[in-house]
Amino acid sequence: MNNREIVAFMPGKVIDIKIQEGDSVKPGDVLFTFESMKMENEMTSDTGGVVKKILVSIDDIINPGSTVAIIQV
């Protein structure tokens, strides 16, 4: 079992968390919605697995390169 880090690719503010710890996800599933530059963007999973840990809350500012979730593949 591998722990795969989901990493933010751009800065923004978390406005919606679409998953819960324990959920099963597949590649392409939307994990978070975040706001940047007055636009809404989605962060999708690039892997399948189970959501082990969610590391952000709503209204958090995320930096590019920071881990936002851990998925157990």
Residues of span 12-31 touching other proteins by CB under 8 A = 12-13
Q: How far is the CB of 48 from other proteins (least distance, A)?
A: 21
Tokens at 31, concatenated: 């994990």
Q: Judged by CB, which is closer to other proteins: 12, or 49?
A: 12
Distance of CA 5 to the CA centre of its chain: 9
Residues 6+ apart with CB under 8 A from 20: 51, 54
Binds other proteins by CB under 8 A, chosen from 36, 44, 67, 72: 36
Distance separating alpha carbons of residues 27 and 30, to the nearest angstrom: 9
Residue 57 contacts other proteins per CB under 8 A: no
Positions that interact with other proteins (CB under 8 A): 7, 9-13, 34-39, 41, 61-65
